Each structure stands twice: as C-alpha cells, then as structure tokens.
A and B are shown apart, each in its own frame.
Chain A
Amino acid sequence: MSTAVSDREVHWQRTRNLMIVHLVIWFIFSYVVHWFATDLNKFTFLDFPVGFYMAAQGSLAVFVIQLFVFSKQQEKIDRECGMAEDE
C-alpha cells in the first residue's frame, strides 16, 4: 500500500509540473505577445506584420499543437507511474 501511495505522489507531482509548464506557455501566447503587438508589428512573418499574425493565427496554432503534445505527455506520465487506464 505504501508504494501505491508514493506512486500516486510522484504521479501527481509530475502531473502538476506538466500543468504549470503548459499554463506558462498558454500565458505567454494569450497575453504577453499581444501586450507587445505594436512592437512585434515592426517585424514580418510570411509578409504578415507579426503582431497581427499572432492574434489572427499564431497563438491559435500554438494552442492546438500544445494540446496534442500535452495529451501525449500526460499519457506517458500515467503509463510510467502505473496510473493509466486498462483498455
């Protein structure tokens, strides 16, 4: 039983760290880049002003990719800690 408890602790620790990493990325692409949109507009990407691009496409694409990666990473944590569902 004691091993089960510590497995759970490791699992929750890693789950929490993964959550924090993803929320930091989320915070940057939700708020920080848009706060500096005027400065970013001095640069271009694919001929787009970068400030506009990030709000119209860039942040959105980051969120989509991030969620697929998150899903894979969390599955790995579940499996390695023996906390995955049996299917």
Chain B
Amino acid sequence: MAMFGDFSSKGGFIQNLPKIYGIYTGGFILFILLMALLERFGLSADTIGLLFVGFTIAIYALIGWLSRTMQLDAYYVAGRQVPPVFNGMATAADWMSGASFVAMAGGIYVGGHPYLAFVVGWTGGYVLVATLMAPYLRKFGCYTVPDFIGTRYGGNLARFCAVVVLVVASFTYVTAQINATGTIAARALLIPFEVGVWLGLAGILLCSMLGGMRAVTWTQVAQYIVLIIAYLVPIVWMSNKQGFGVIPHLVYGDAVQRIAELEQLHQVGVLKPAQAVAGMSALVVKHNAPADTFVANWRFVTLVACMMIGTASLPHILMRYFTTPSVRAARSSVAWSLFFIFLLYFSAPALATFTKLQILDPNLATSLIGKSVADVNAITWVQKWSSVGFVKVLDANGDGIVQINEFFIRADVVVLATPEIAGLPYVISGLVAAGGMAAAMSTADGLLLAIANALSHDLYYKMIDPKADTRRRLIVARVLLIAIGAAGALVASMRLTGILGAVAWAFCFAMSGLFFPLVLGVWWKRANRAGAIAGMVLGLATGTWYLYMVKWGGMKPWWGMDDLRFGMVGATVSLVAMVVVSLLTPAPDKETQDMVDEIRIPKGETYLGSTH
C-alpha cells in the first residue's frame, strides 16, 4: 500500500489495482459484518454511526497521504495513467453528490414523474461528453478546462473569462457539498453543525491537498465503492424482505400500478394540506402523472436539457477524462462512468416507489395512511424523525385518522430512514451515513480541485508568473486549495443555500458560459477569440440576469422556465453571440486551424507537452 500511485513502480501499481481495491472492498464488507456483530453484543447506535463515518474518513485520508506528490502531471492529471474502468468509478463518485445520494429518491417520492427529469438529465449528459468533448480534450492534453479555452482561442482574456465561469459554477456547487458533509458529520459524530462543516472540510482537504488529482482519483474510487454498497444494500434487503426478489428494479412495475390504485383510495391530489409545514411536504402529486399540457412538457424537457448540457460543461467532470492513458481510454471511460452512475440512478426511483407503497398500502404492516394518529405516533421511526423535525403528523380535521394531507415528510428522510422504515438493523443506517458522507466528500474534492487548479495553473502560472518553478506552482496550488475550501466552509456554515437549488444553478452557470466555447472550439474551426469571449461573457451575464430577475426581481418566467432552468436563456444567448461575433471578425490563423485538425485525430502526441 505504501506505493499508492507511485510512479517508480507504476506498472506494478496499475496492474495491481483490481487486487488492491478487491482487498479494500473485502475489508469494508468485513467491517460491516463486524459492526453487525457488535450491534448484537449491544453496541449503541450512536457508536456504530461514529465508527462507520470515522473509519471510512480515516481510510480516505490514508489513501490521500499515500498518494502525495511533488510532480506536476501527477498533481494535475494523476500522471495520465488511470485505467478506464477505475476512472469510471472515480468519475461516478465525483459526479454523484450528497444531493444525488440523499435527496434524489426523496425528490421522486414527493415530486413523482416530473422529478424524473433529474434522473434522465443527469445520465444523458454523458452522451454529449463522449461524442462532443472528452476524447478531444484528452488529445489536446490540457491540465484544466480554461487551459483549453486559453490555448484554442489564444490570449489571456479568453482564459480569464473561462476561469471566471468555472469559479462561479463550481463554487456554487461546492458550498452545497460542504453543507452536506457538515450535516452528516454533525449527525454521525454528535457535534454541532458549524463544527461538522469544518471537520468535513478537513477530511476533504486531507484527500486532495498532498496529492492533487492523483490523490483525489484513488480516494474517489474508494468512495464510490462505499457509496454504491451503501445505496444498494438497503434496497436489495428491503425488497427481498417484501418478496420482490433481490433485483427489485425489474419487478416494481406492479408496485407503480398498485400505487395508482391507492392514490385513488387516499385521494392524492384531491386533499390538500390545510397548512404548509416548512421544509416538509405531504403527498399531493400522483406518482406517475406525466405532464399533459404544453408548458408542463416544456418544463420537463428544459430541465432535462439544462442538466445534460450542464453536465457536459462542468469542469470537475471534464477534467477527469484528462487522466486516462489514451484518447481511446477516455472514450471508453465515459461509458464506464455512466454505467457506474446508472447503478445508483436506476435504483432511486425503485426506492421511492417501495417507500411510497409501504406508507400507502393498508395491506402492509408498515402503512401509515388511514391508521389512527395515536398508532402512527407510536411507531419508533416516526417518533425518532419527528423529534428532529423531519416527519410530522398533523390531524387537521381532528378525526383521529391520518389522511394523505396530514402526513408530512422531508424528502431526505426517504433514503436516510429507509432502513428503519423497513425494520433493518442499525448497522445499515450507519452504512447509509457513511455512503452519504462518501458521496458528498468525493464531489467536494473534485470541485475544490477544479477551482484551485484553474486559479493556480491558469491565473497564477499562465497569467501572473510564467517563470514560477514546479515547487512554487505546487505550493501555490495547495495554498489556494485551502483558501477556497475555507471560503466554501464559511459560506456553508452560514446556511445560505438549499442543497438542490444550488446544485441546479451550478449546471445552469456552467452551460451558460462554457458549453458552446468548448464544443465549437473542437467542432467549428471558424470560431475565434472574439466570438468565444462574447459567448462566455454574454452567456454568463444574461443567465445571471435572468436568474436574478426570476428569483428575486419579480419577473414572470418565460414559458415556465424558472430559476432552475435559467441556463436555457444563458446558453442560447451564448450560442448566438459566439456565432455572430465570430463571423463578423477574421477567421483564426492557420496555426490555430492546424491545432484543431490535430486534436480531431487520436493518433500522435498530445498537443500540449506532458508538462507545460
């Protein structure tokens, strides 16, 4: 293990990856079994949660320390030797945030079919990544996304604009992730939220500071393994317990249809809550009620489009494909990434459906709706989650029976409380906490590194001090990493943003500023510097203006495009501005056009040297 990511034994380390992570996975499963055993011997639930979260963070930190480096290409692109399957796992962890892990199934539970736009949008974006971007950026050989913009279009201004878009998008995203690590750390380790935020940040920095991209890569693989086990084990267990078999994904169609009958019975959508409860929702939307008006359909597809195009513009995702050994590996790695992401995303709707069935179906012992208020309030998990304000029963009409509009739940509970709702042992709850922590930490790691690398490489080295030596560059990179992490934690501890809002905004910022300059940089030789700058500046400015006007300025959204969809406006302006300005100004020089030809074919050396 002491040679984690070590270059001197690089063949050995890379070839041994399956063995190393196999042992790691086995070790983690043994740890789960050990915890289950200790639970039998009376170890308290709090201690189990603490051990799960503490133990996994210690492992990530160990991997981060073992991957420390003072080499540029190890720090920025993990030495470009990460095999496609492992890069796929790392990308999946990088991608699936605390919000995906904790909030997605709950979102589907509350929102029904319209919420599935996130599931479709957050997977299909990878088709754009694979066909339009990843292989070409890999061939180009850059360290960061602004590095591509800066070299393709030339000039510091274009590079600077790309850095600005990257920072705006990624910083919006990272505060939500640090917030999530803080929330989970606070609950598992029994400390105040504000302390949890800084402790979470310390864990995140331990994974990334010493080894940069190399350390983040190998910890993200480890984090993926934890988070996918933690997501799938409760679903499989619960489904098996209810007689749906061990692969519930293929057989829950009956449950979807049964829910539709029960929704009739319980009058979902007919009975509205008598009063709103902050942060919690009663079921008022049917599980499977797709849009039936033009505007509702338009809202579905624009949300899908924003999430997809945003995916293909987010620098922390694109930069993962700079780490593969070849262009071919970059392409197959995108496919593997999506496969690993798919494992979680196609499970989320299943989980939402099972949970809903358990709560609605009067034939099941677990049901709540239609039972007496006293009985429901006596159920252990209801008591536990009510006490922290995540679940609430309000007998509005005073008949002593829980109706559909009288049971309120916070969406996050669907994942966090599943083990308890289904009566699984506490060890599973500890596992879920560790999984949520892994999801939030791995995404925060990738985002912080994307920001710090853009500032250290593009702003400091390329624009301020091009003569800086390797040592100085790597020290600057680390100082920036700590500073940005601290800024993120500070914002997170002020609790300014709700998790989902901030995540969707990050996608819209990224697509408003970066999508077309990146795509057209590869696919349209005529695109030039003036066009790219116009595209980035006007796209980001218009998107931000629209967000402000719709969210705070009291403007009526255009065709139902609310603040989660402002990227549609930004990206459209970006495209038009970029094409018009490019055509009004001279074509790029021959050297630039030859460069574009060069990155379009996999053959040959990367366009930029191995260290630049």
Task: Report which A residues bind B (CB closer than 8 A).
Answer: 8, 11-12, 15, 18-19, 22-23, 26, 29-31, 34-35, 37-38, 41, 44-49, 51-53, 55-57, 59-61, 63-64, 66-68, 70-71, 74-75, 78, 82-87
11 of the cross-chain contacts (CB-CB < 8 Å) are A19-B131, A26-B124, A44-B257, A52-B113, A52-B116, A55-B116, A70-B331, A70-B335, A71-B328, A75-B328, A78-B601
Contact of A83 among B254, B290, B601 (CB under 8 A): B601
Q: Are B602 and A55 in contact (CB under 8 A)?
A: no
A26 to B297 alpha-carbon distance, docked (Å): 18
Q: Are A52 and B603 in contact (CB under 8 A)?
A: no
Contact of A60 among B128, B342, B604 (CB under 8 A): B342
Enumerate chain A residues within 8 angstroms of B327, measured Cβ to Cβ: 85
Q: Are A30 and B120 in contact (CB under 8 A)?
A: yes
Contact of B602 among A22, A46, A61, A78 (CB under 8 A): A78
Enumerate chain B residues within 8 angstroms of A60, measured Cβ to Cβ: 119-120, 123-124, 342, 345-346
Enumerate chain B residues within 8 angstroms of A85, measured Cβ to Cβ: 326-328, 602-604
Q: Are A64 and B338 in contact (CB under 8 A)?
A: yes
Q: How far is the CB of A57 from chain B (nearest CB, A)?
A: 5
Q: Are A74 and B331 in contact (CB under 8 A)?
A: yes
With A83-B601, A83-B603: A63-B288 Cβ-Cβ less than 8 Å: no
Q: Are A37 and B113 in contact (CB under 8 A)?
A: yes
Q: How far is the CB of A64 from chain B (nearest CB, A)?
A: 5
A51 to B346 alpha-carbon distance, docked (Å): 15
Q: Are A55 and B331 in contact (CB under 8 A)?
A: no
Q: Are B346 and A67 in contact (CB under 8 A)?
A: no
Enumerate chain B residues within 8 angstroms of A46, measured Cβ to Cβ: 250-251, 253
- In the complex, identify which listed stretch (B179-187, B203-211, B301-309) lies at the interface while the others stay far away: B301-309
Q: Are A63 and B290 in contact (CB under 8 A)?
A: no
A-B contacts counted at CB < 8 A amount to: 157
Q: Are A19 and B132 in contact (CB under 8 A)?
A: yes
Query: Which B residue's beta carbon lies closest to that of A83?
Result: B601
Interface residue? B249 (CB, 8 A): yes
Q: Are A59 and B346 in contact (CB under 8 A)?
A: no
Enumerate chain A residues within 8 angstroms of B292, measured Cβ to Cβ: 38
Contact of A64 among B132, B342, B603 (CB under 8 A): B342
Task: Report which B residues bind A (CB closer than 8 A).
Answer: 113, 116-117, 119-121, 123-124, 126-128, 130-132, 135, 249-254, 256-257, 288, 290-292, 297, 300-301, 304-305, 308, 326-328, 331-332, 334-335, 338-339, 342, 345-346, 349-350, 597, 600-604
Enumerate chain A residues within 8 angstroms of B345, measured Cβ to Cβ: 60
Q: Are A38 and B290 in contact (CB under 8 A)?
A: yes
Enumerate chain B residues within 8 angstroms of A45, measured Cβ to Cβ: 253
Enumerate chain A residues within 8 angstroms of B338, measured Cβ to Cβ: 63-64, 67
Q: How far is the CB of B30 from chain A (nearest CB, A)?
A: 31
Among A34, A55, A82, A87, max chain B CB count under 10 A is at A55
Q: Are A52 and B288 in contact (CB under 8 A)?
A: yes
Q: Are A59 and B600 in contact (CB under 8 A)?
A: no
With A30-B120, A53-B253: A61-B331 Cβ-Cβ less than 8 Å: no
Enumerate chain A residues within 8 angstroms of B297, measured Cβ to Cβ: 34-35
Q: Are B601 and A56 in contact (CB under 8 A)?
A: no
A46 to B254 alpha-carbon distance, docked (Å): 9
Q: Are A38 and B291 in contact (CB under 8 A)?
A: yes
Q: Are B600 and A15 in contact (CB under 8 A)?
A: yes
Query: Which A residue's beta carbon lies closest to that of B297?
Result: A35
Enumerate chain A residues within 8 angstroms of B334, measured Cβ to Cβ: 67, 71
With A34-B301, A83-B601: A67-B335 Cβ-Cβ less than 8 Å: yes
Q: Are B127 and A51 in contact (CB under 8 A)?
A: no
A71 to B308 alpha-carbon distance, docked (Å): 19
A-B complex: 10 closest residue pairs judged by Cβ atoms:
A47-B253, A37-B290, A48-B253, A67-B335, A55-B116, A56-B349, A83-B601, A26-B127, A52-B288, A71-B331
Contact of A8 among B132, B308, B332, B601 (CB under 8 A): B601
Contact of A49 among B288, B349, B350, B601 (CB under 8 A): B288
A71 to B290 alpha-carbon distance, docked (Å): 33
Q: Are A83 and B602 in contact (CB under 8 A)?
A: yes
4 more A-B residue pairs beyond the given contacts A35-B297, A38-B291, A47-B251, with a C-beta to C-beta distance below 8 A? A57-B346, A59-B123, A61-B342, A64-B123
Query: Which A residue's beta carbon lies closest to that of B335?
Result: A67
A57 to B127 alpha-carbon distance, docked (Å): 16
Enumerate chain B residues within 8 angstroms of A12, measured Cβ to Cβ: 600
Enumerate chain B residues within 8 angstroms of A83, measured Cβ to Cβ: 601-603
A63 to B78 alpha-carbon distance, docked (Å): 28
A78 to B124 alpha-carbon distance, docked (Å): 24
A59 to B304 alpha-carbon distance, docked (Å): 12
Query: Which B residue's beta carbon lies closest to that of A46?
Result: B253
Among A22, A44, A59, A64, max chain B CB count under 10 A is at A64
Query: Which A residue's beta carbon lies closest to that of B603?
Result: A83
